[in-house]
């Protein structure tokens, strides 16, 4: 997987219905919303036995200054299959009370027979912020597999915000 293009215009495509977004509530859905992941102590057994795996733990803030604006908020993620791959799009409710975003960190993994584990999540890459909502087209997927995605924001003080709710997509043959 690699992020090959980040597109601000994705919203226009989504609004026009060009992208094949699937209703999360539909029985025919290939996109699914996942429950929030529970935090657990390092070295403990997983609290869940189904995918997606628990998200990586959030690092402790390295910058603590009460005069700074608030750290990043939780992004809202969407995932859609397109002809040449998967479009991952997101939005964040930016307010003047929150610090400027320096980058977004996109995480993903391909589901396998391995038990769900935080170590399955891999950082796909960092995406520089553009006008929201943002989108990234990912390519090089294997058909017949389920992929899981999550994203988080990092502000200009390197403070990491919470992960989005993980989303999954099944790429059928």
What predicted TM-score, i.e. pTM, was given to this entire model? 0.71
Question: Which domain, by its residues, includes 124?
Answer: 2-19+68-171
CATH of the domain at 124: 2.60.40.10
Q: What is the pLDDT, as a whole number, of residue 142?
A: 86
Q: What is the pLDDT, as a whole number, of residue 51?
A: 86
Q: What is the pLDDT, as a whole number, of residue 12?
A: 34
Q: What is the pLDDT, as a whole number, of residue 173?
A: 66
> Does 12 fall in a domain?
yes
Which residues, including other chains, have CB under 8 Å from residue 15's CB and lie 6 or more apart?
none
Q: How far apart are CA 153 and CA 148, in angstroms?
A: 18
**Buried residues in 51-85 as b, exposed as e (16+ CB within 10 A):** bbbbbbeeeeeeeeeeeeeebbbebebbbbbeeeb
> Does 36 fall in a domain?
no
Spans in the chain with pLDDT lower than 70: 1-48, 61-63, 173
In angstroms, what is the C-alpha Rg of the chain?
16
> Does 163 fall in a domain?
yes
Q: What is the pLDDT, as a whole number, of residue 66?
A: 85
Q: What is the pLDDT, as a whole number, of residue 59?
A: 81
Q: What is the pLDDT, as a whole number, of residue 4?
A: 40
How many domains, the chain? 1
> Does 37 fall in a domain?
no
């Amino acid at each position: 997987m690699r992020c090959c293009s980040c597109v601000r215009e994705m919203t226009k495509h989504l609004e026009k219905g060009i992208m094949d977004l699937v209703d999360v509530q539909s029985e025919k859905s290939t996109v699914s919303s996942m429950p929030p992941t529970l935090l657990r102590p390092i070295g403990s057994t997983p609290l869940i036995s189904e995918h997606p795996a628990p998200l990586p733990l959030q690092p402790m803030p390295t910058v603590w200054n009460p005069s700074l604006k608030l750290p990043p908020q939780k992004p809202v993620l969407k995932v859609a299959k397109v002809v040449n791959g998967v479009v991952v799009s997101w939005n964040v409710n930016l307010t003047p009370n929150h610090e400027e975003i320096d980058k977004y960190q996109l995480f993903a993994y391909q589901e396998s027979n391995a038990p769900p584990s935080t170590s399955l999540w891999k950082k796909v890459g960092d995406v520089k912020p553009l006008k929201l909502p943002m989108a990234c087209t990912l390519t090089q997927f294997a058909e017949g597999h389920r992929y899981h995605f999550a994203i988080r924001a990092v502000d200009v003080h390197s403070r990491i915000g919470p992960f989005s709710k993980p989303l999954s997509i099944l790429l059928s043959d």
